[in-house]
Amino acid sequence: MARNTDETSPVEIQQYLKGINYPASKDELIAAARGNRAPDEVIAILEKLPGDQFDGPPEVMKAYGQVK
């Protein structure tokens, strides 16, 4: 059963981005998450992030907060 985005935590998002080198594009974040077997709801969140370039995890989490 798929979870909705409200059940996905910032910590979980970062776990699926393990191994990524920053700065990173949104496409690189999505590719890393897929490589780490992220569920569809995590990919959906990453696809909705505002911006195309991220300098580090804090910037990703700021964008994540805007999506939530």
pLDDT digits (tens, 9 = 90+) for 44-64: 999 999 999 999 999 999 999
Instruction: Note whether 43 and 59 are within 8 A (CB).
Output: no
What is the reported pLDDT for 7?
73
**DSSP state for residue 21 in the 8-state scheme:** P
- Give the pLDDT band of residue 33 (cuts 50, 70, 90): very high
Range list of H helices, 1-68: 10-16, 26-35, 40-48, 57-67
Residue 54: phi and psi, rounded to 5, are: -130, 130
For residues 25 and 23, give the distance between their C-alpha atoms in angstroms, rounded to a whole number: 7
What is the reported pLDDT for 3?
44
Asked if residue 4 has pLDDT above 60, the reply is: no
Residue 53: phi and psi, rounded to 5, are: -135, 135
Rounded to two decimals, the pTM is 0.87
